[in-house]
Structure formats: structure tokens, C-alpha cells
A and B are shown apart, each in its own frame.
Chain A
């Protein structure tokens, strides 16, 4: 179907035989990110099995993950609100490839999830599981499945995934 791709191709053999000049770059840089006030409190909530959001009292908009300033009205007119641990699938994908283009048999199911209690169209990225990939649909009601309490680290992965309600 395709004509042969133009260009100079690299083979694995050429790499293995050291025929390709390669510089292994290791800048020894690693990062210790501060979570900040907004995400810090959100992650602490996940550790406790709760999902926190923030409400802008000017815009009347509730969002999660929370933020300590509202980027719409550019104020700090924020109150914290605990949300439910259920939501709705805004959109999803069944992904059959890893980032390096290698194939996966059972697809990763990524989704934008709108958590109940947030304003319309304010979702966040997470994963779906315990569901037949072919049955996932936009509008599906889902619930968060948390790790066991003692395994939680205060990390976004404290929610293992979301499953149909």
C-alpha cells in the first residue's frame, strides 16, 4: 500500500553491532517536585479515600483536581469542597500501543472523568478497569476504586482505577 519510506533506516543489528554512533545521555538530573497547596491537599485527601475539589465563589465553578486560584477571574476567592467518589466518563480511549510504539494486547483504557459535584466539563485524566473494553461508553457512570488504606501514598495512583457503577 505504501511506497517504501524514503530515508535512511536504522536496524536493531546496526545498534547491536555498534555501527551507529550513539551517545548515552544521562544528565543525572532528578526532580523533587513540591505538590503545592492545591494538589498537596488533594493528594492528602486521596490517602484518606476522599476527593477534594475547589469552588470559585466568583465564577461559581467547582473543579477537581483543585487549584488555589481561579484562572478565569484570576482571584483567590476559593472554598474547598469534598466531592463524591463517583463520576461520568466524558471521553475515553482504548490504547493498544505504548509510548515507544510497541504493541499491547489488552488495551489501556484512559478516560477523562467528570467527578460528581464538579461543574460541567471539568474532568480529569484517569484509567478505567474491571470493564469489557468494548462496553465502555461516553456518559458511563463510574466509581473510584482506591488502593487499600495502608498502601496509599498520597499519590494520584491511590485511586487504582475507575469501574462502572
Chain B
């Protein structure tokens, strides 16, 4: 199996409403990644695109619609889609393409423009509920998150205040991200006093709808070393899907994330993740999800992840920085692009190119994780400098 490296990354700003079309956003990110690698489209063997529901754009066959803008013209092209998990699943697909030996280089592009969907992009999610036994109850997406958060808190005796520390950290981290939408200095009191959307979810614990795109270029070992003297290697990948009967899951613990993480750790030869992973970018569309996911990733004991934020261990300068980018809570959440943003962040951090956001101490290994489908998929990638 060929070793696969990330050789460049690029992204657009994440904003509430971009005037650019989805194609223009995808192009901007893809071109930025190619330029950063000193490559042209001629150097790319295949293209992987990731984007979430068609309903955001009101355009069917969105992968095809976005193909030209992603550099897919006249090339082997595939769109992958696992809801919110897409942004990490897309580079996993890129890895599959190159590790198989079929291709030497791959361009991976993820785009999302949520703002076209009126009156609110949440409407695009209404049809994910079971058509026979849930939709007649007129559910909205917040219900699931709020109920999962409540079950998590109740199982371990965690308070809203404990979880608020995640919002404070991530929004502050995002202040230093030039592409961020919601960087802000907020206090724990600001978070717990912000309006309740769906108890126990408060407004400052939710990531915003966003428009934006990200891209990375992947290459085989031989090619990667020619393109850059600092490739970031894909050491492990994992993905796993829980039951579609979401009410049958253990809502306090994401078992599917653990299974995906174990798959990636095994492949990367990681035995003690808490010692070996230097930077973590878990999926944080809601503040509690960062904690939920850190536990599933075996980077915190069950019910103990809040301590990481409270004690500053997950701060950018802490022992295990979590979401140094600012995460979805701070940088923004253009669904598929948000997951790939996390992989871009690891790329820049491990190359020490993260500027003001740079995590100290020469981080060697990083992990990014995304989550989605019907709140049931875990996608995990482990990357490292050597």
C-alpha cells in the first residue's frame, strides 16, 4: 500500500452569506490549494468532491454541478457524501484513490453554500427524519442535538456551565484565524446567559450556518516528496456507521466514533492516543459534541472531557490542544467544508505554518474527526510529520 501525503491546502473565508456561487467558492479553494503546491490541474490525476445535501442549493446532482469548479473536467471524478462527516470522508476517499495504486495525485475539494436556502437552511434537514413515524411530529434538527446533550449531561452529571468552556475556547481561538466567521471573546457567563434555543442548547453553543470551501492536494510518497519537502502523511483512516434508528443508540456515548478511531489508530500504529496525538480537531457543531467526540476518540475518559477545557489542557497552549483553528463554533460550519477545514488546520499546524494560531512544541501527530449522516457516522483521519 502506497504511503499518501498531503502536499498543500487552501480555503476561502467562511461567511454567513457569500455573493459567490457554489462553483466560484469551490474554484477559489481548489485553485488556492493548487497554487500553494505550485501545481496546475494537469498535475492532478483524479478529483474527489465533498458536499452535503442538495437541499441547501436547491440543485439536484450537486456533485456534477460542482465538478468543473473542483477541477473535475476530463478526469476520474467522484462525489462522496456522509452528511456532516463528509469533510473528513473526502480526504479518506482521496487516500483510497492513491493508496490503491491507481493514482499518483488527487485534488480533494469540499464546498457548502447554505445561505441560498430560505427562510433558514435548517429547513434542508427536515426530511432526514423518518417519513412515517417522526415527520408527522414536526421535529426540527435541534431536537436531536438537545436530547443527546441532555442525555450526555444526565449520564455523567455534567452542567451546562461545564460545557460552556468549549464555546469560550473555540470562539477565542477563531479570533486568530483569518478565515473565521465567528471569532469572539466571550465568557462562560455570556454562554450560559445566551438565549436557550432548545434546552440545554444555548445560542452560543451552536455553530452558525456558513458559506465556504476548502481543498487539499494529496500525492503518493514518491510524488509528495518531489512537490514539497514537508509533506504531512496520512497515517490512519477510519469510518463507522451506527444504526439509523437514532433513538436506539447510546446517546451518551458515540460508539461509532470509537470504532472509527480504533480503525485509524490501528492503521497508524497508535497504542496510546492520549500520549501520541498532539493536536485534535474533533467535530464541534455544538459545544457538547467536542466533548462527546473526545471521549469517543479515547482522548478523555467517559464523562471527563469537560475537564480538558475547564483546566486549560485543550487550550492552544495546553498539553493537548483541541480545535486550535477555532472549530466550527468559531471558524464557521459550511457543512462539508467545515470538516476539511480541520484537515487543513492540521496540515498548517504540523508544518508550523499556522501563524498566530501556531501550537507550540513542534506537534508531530494530529487527528481530525467529523460526524454526520443521521447523527450516526464517525470519520477519522490521523496525520503526521513523519
Q: Chain A interface (Cβ within 8 Å of chain B)? A: 1-3, 5-10, 22-23, 25, 31, 33, 35-36, 39, 42-43, 63, 65, 71, 90-101, 107, 110-112, 121-127, 138, 155-157
The answer on a CB contact under 8 Å between B126 and A112 is no
Interchain CA distance A105-B261 in the complex, whole Å: 41
Interface size class of B (residues with CB under 8 A): 35 or more
The answer on a CB contact under 8 Å between A96 and B140 is no
Q: Which of B70-78, B90-98, B145-153 makes up part of the contact surface?
A: B145-153
The answer on a CB contact under 8 Å between A95 and B248 is no
Given contacts A6-B16, A97-B140, A99-B123, 8 further A-B contacts (CB under 8 A): A7-B211, A8-B18, A91-B148, A93-B147, A99-B141, A101-B119, A107-B198, A110-B147
- A sample of 15 cross-chain residue pairs with beta-carbon separation below 8 angstroms, ordered by A number, consists of A5-B16, A6-B181, A7-B115, A7-B181, A31-B131, A39-B133, A91-B147, A93-B142, A97-B142, A100-B120, A107-B199, A110-B139, A112-B251, A121-B250, A127-B137
Q: Chain B interface (Cβ within 8 Å of chain A)? A: 13, 15-19, 58, 115, 118-120, 122-123, 125-126, 131-134, 136-137, 139-143, 146-148, 150-151, 154, 181-184, 186, 190, 195-201, 208, 211, 243, 245, 247-251
Give, as a whole number of angstroms, the nearest-CB distance from B163 to chain A: 15
* Residues of chain B lying within 8 A (CB to CB) of residue A92: 147, 150
Interchain CA distance A122-B18 in the complex, whole Å: 43
Please, which residue of chain A has its CB at the minimum distance from the CB of B171?
A2
Known contacts A63-B248, A95-B140, A110-B143: A100-B123 contact under CB 8 Å: yes
The answer on a CB contact under 8 Å between A125 and B154 is no
Give, as a whole number of angstroms, the nearest-CB distance from B84 to chain A: 17
Please, which residue of chain A has its CB at the minimum distance from the CB of B199?
A94
Give, as a whole number of angstroms, the nearest-CB distance from B26 to chain A: 18
Interchain CA distance A59-B150 in the complex, whole Å: 29
Interchain CA distance A63-B244 in the complex, whole Å: 14
Give, as a whole number of angstroms, the nearest-CB distance from B376 to chain A: 12
Give, as a whole number of angstroms, the nearest-CB distance from B143 to chain A: 4
* Residues of chain B lying within 8 A (CB to CB) of residue A156: 132-134, 136-137
* Residues of chain B lying within 8 A (CB to CB) of residue A100: 119-120, 122-123
The answer on a CB contact under 8 Å between A95 and B143 is yes
The answer on a CB contact under 8 Å between A96 and B141 is no
* Residues of chain A lying within 8 A (CB to CB) of residue B133: 39, 42, 65, 124-125, 156
The answer on a CB contact under 8 Å between A94 and B119 is no
The residue that B251 contacts in the complex, of A7, A9, A91, with Cβ under 8 A, is A91
Interchain CA distance A126-B125 in the complex, whole Å: 18
Please, which residue of chain B has its CB at the minimum distance from the CB of A112?
B247
Please, which residue of chain A has its CB at the minimum distance from the CB of B15?
A7
The answer on a CB contact under 8 Å between A39 and B132 is yes
Give, as a whole number of angstroms, the nearest-CB distance from A5 to chain B: 5
Closest 6 CB pairs of A and B: A93-B146, A7-B15, A99-B140, A91-B151, A7-B16, A94-B199
* Residues of chain B lying within 8 A (CB to CB) of residue A123: 247-248
The answer on a CB contact under 8 Å between B251 and A90 is yes
The answer on a CB contact under 8 Å between B19 and A8 is yes
* Residues of chain B lying within 8 A (CB to CB) of residue A122: 247-248
The answer on a CB contact under 8 Å between B122 and A96 is no
* Residues of chain A lying within 8 A (CB to CB) of residue B17: 7-10
* Residues of chain A lying within 8 A (CB to CB) of residue B13: 6
The answer on a CB contact under 8 Å between A93 and B143 is yes
Interchain CA distance A99-B122 in the complex, whole Å: 6
* Residues of chain B lying within 8 A (CB to CB) of residue A98: 140
Give, as a whole number of angstroms, the nearest-CB distance from A118 to chain B: 9
The answer on a CB contact under 8 Å between B146 and A95 is yes
Known contacts A33-B132, A123-B248: A96-B137 contact under CB 8 Å: no
Most buried by B among A31, A71, A94: A94
Please, which residue of chain A has its CB at the minimum distance from the CB of B147?
A91
Interchain CA distance A127-B137 in the complex, whole Å: 8
* Residues of chain A lying within 8 A (CB to CB) of residue B182: 2, 5
Please, which residue of chain B has its CB at the minimum distance from the CB of A34?
B132
Interchain CA distance A23-B118 in the complex, whole Å: 11
Give, as a whole number of angstroms, the nearest-CB distance from A21 to chain B: 11
The answer on a CB contact under 8 Å between A125 and B151 is no
* Residues of chain A lying within 8 A (CB to CB) of residue B131: 31, 33
Most buried by B among A1, A9, A22: A1
Interchain CA distance A7-B334 in the complex, whole Å: 14
The answer on a CB contact under 8 Å between B136 and A155 is yes
The residue that A121 contacts in the complex, of B120, B139, B190, B248, with Cβ under 8 A, is B248
* Residues of chain B lying within 8 A (CB to CB) of residue A25: 58
The answer on a CB contact under 8 Å between B243 and A125 is no
